[in-house]
């Protein structure tokens, strides 16, 4: 049974509506990002893909969660979001169905990620698109990065490398 303080009990929807458990990502280091196609930070999609490629084959994955919570900057829905990400930024990491990431109607995953009372580690509610949460191999929240922290920054790369190295054997 998964501990309460992990992401593994949560389920998310793919663009086609298929629900998948986050336990599929067990033993991987994850970067969970809320995205939007019409944001000033949208070019970070390319940088996120580059980060994924840098750590390819090392049990690292990026999970994108489009949201329209900030300035209505995600007017697209479903497969249109996926197509936008692939065509314009070469995204090959999983991008899930559009969700809410803040407030009382936030997706349960984001309620967990943003609240120390639930995740046991930190409180950091997204204040804009491209807020990033780093998850360790045990499915626990490890760190977060504000939208202005670029995916290719040494700060993010070093934290990912540390989690991959520190937890190589579980």
What residues does each domain of the chain span?
A: 11-166
Under the banding of pLDDT at 50, 70 and 90, the label for residue 7 is very high
Under the banding of pLDDT at 50, 70 and 90, the label for residue 168 is low
Mean pLDDT value of segment 114-140: 96
CA 75, CA 48: separation in Å to the nearest integer?
21
Contact between residue 57 and residue 146 where contact means Cβ atoms under 8 Å apart? no
Under the banding of pLDDT at 50, 70 and 90, the label for residue 4 is low
Of 35, 65, 38, 58, the closest CA to residue 47 belongs to 35
Q: Has residue 94 got a pLDDT over 70?
A: yes
Residue 39 is among the residues annotated as catalytic for this protein:
yes
pTM of the model: 0.95
The two three-digit tokens of residue 53, written as one number: 């490629």
Q: Has residue 117 got a pLDDT over 70?
A: yes
CA 47, CA 127: separation in Å to the nearest integer?
20
Of 111, 127, 97, the closest CA to residue 14 belongs to 97
Q: What average pLDDT is seen over the chain?
A: 94
Mean pLDDT value of segment 133-152: 97
Residue with structure tokens 């409180």? 123
Catalytic residue chosen out of the listed positions 30, 39, 62, 99 = 39
Under the banding of pLDDT at 50, 70 and 90, the label for residue 1 is very low
CATH 3.40.30.10 applies to domain 11-166: yes
Taking only the tens place, the pLDDT of each residue in 34-49 is: 999 999 999 999 999 9
Mean pLDDT value of segment 58-85: 96
């Amino acid at each position: 049974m998964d501990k309460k303080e992990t992401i593994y009990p949560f389920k998310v929807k793919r663009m086609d509506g298929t629900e998948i458990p986050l336990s599929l990502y067990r033993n991987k280091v994850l970067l969970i990002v809320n995205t939007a196609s019409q944001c000033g930070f949208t070019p970070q999609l390319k940088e996120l893909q580059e980060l994924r490629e840098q750590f390819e084959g090392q049990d690292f994955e990026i999970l994108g969660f489009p949201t329209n919570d900030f300035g209505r900057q995600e007017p697209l829905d479903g497969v249109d979001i996926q197509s936008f990400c692939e065509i314009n930024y070469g995204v090959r990491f999983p991008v899930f169905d559009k969700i809410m990431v803040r407030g009382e109607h936030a997706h349960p995953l984001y309620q967990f990620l943003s609240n120390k009372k639930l995740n046991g580690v930190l409180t950091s509610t997204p204040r804009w698109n491209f807020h990033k949460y780093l998850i360790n191999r045990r499915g626990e929240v490890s760190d977060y990065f504000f939208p202005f922290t670029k995916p290719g920054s040494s700060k993010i790369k070093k934290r990912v490398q540390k989690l991959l190295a520190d937890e190589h054997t579980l």
